[in-house]
Amino acid sequence: MNTKASLFEYLVLSRGQWDQDLSKEEIQNAIEDFYAWFDRLVAEGKMKRGQRLANQGKTVSKSMVTDGPFSETKEVIGGYWFILAASLEEAAKIAAENPCLACGLFYEIRPIDSSRASAFTAATETPSEQRGQR
């Protein structure tokens, strides 16, 4: 049986900032533990590589372009990668093993939707009061 066929892809967004009371050595140890954990899961086929994100960026909206990809510390996104799992629950369980959780970071896990966007299908961008109307 091919177990890869039953796996779905989940985007993981690394959010937050390091706890201020941690030393640089403690943070570095968590980072090294993360890369060992991450590399093992990539080798096992449970994760796919992503990238760290740089500090600078732009936010683009209908009316303006502003400096900075975020406005509040809780909105900081430090990077992304992908988990391959049979369910969102399994993906969350894998992410919960991340060594950096103990140091202040947290993770948002989102299923990848490979379908094309449509104004006639409720999606993330659809205002919540309109989702039941479609």
Confidence (pLDDT) at 74 = 55
Q: Do residues 115 and 34 make contact, with C-beta atoms less than 8 angstroms apart?
A: no
Q: What is the CATH number of domain 3-133?
A: 3.30.70.1060
Confidence (pLDDT) at 1 = 41
The residue to which tokens 């500090």 are assigned: 55
Q: Is pLDDT of 2 > 60?
A: no
User: Bigger pLDDT: 118 or 21?
Assistant: 21
pLDDT mean across residues, the chain: 87
pTM of this structure:
0.80
Q: Is pLDDT of 15 > 60?
A: yes
Cα–Cα distance between 16 and 72 in angstroms, integer? 10
Measuring CA to CA, which residue among 14, 33, 8 is closest to residue 90? 8
Domain ranges for the chain, please list them.
3-133
pLDDT in tens, 60-104: 888 877 776 555 555 688 999 999 999 999 999 999 999 999 999
pLDDT in tens, 22-50: 999 999 999 999 999 999 999 999 999 99
* Amino acid occupying residue 24: K
Instruction: Please name the helix (run of DSSP H) or strand (run of DSSP E) that holds residue 9, with its range, or none.
Output: strand 8-15
Q: What are phi and psi of 81, to 5 degrees?
A: -160, -175
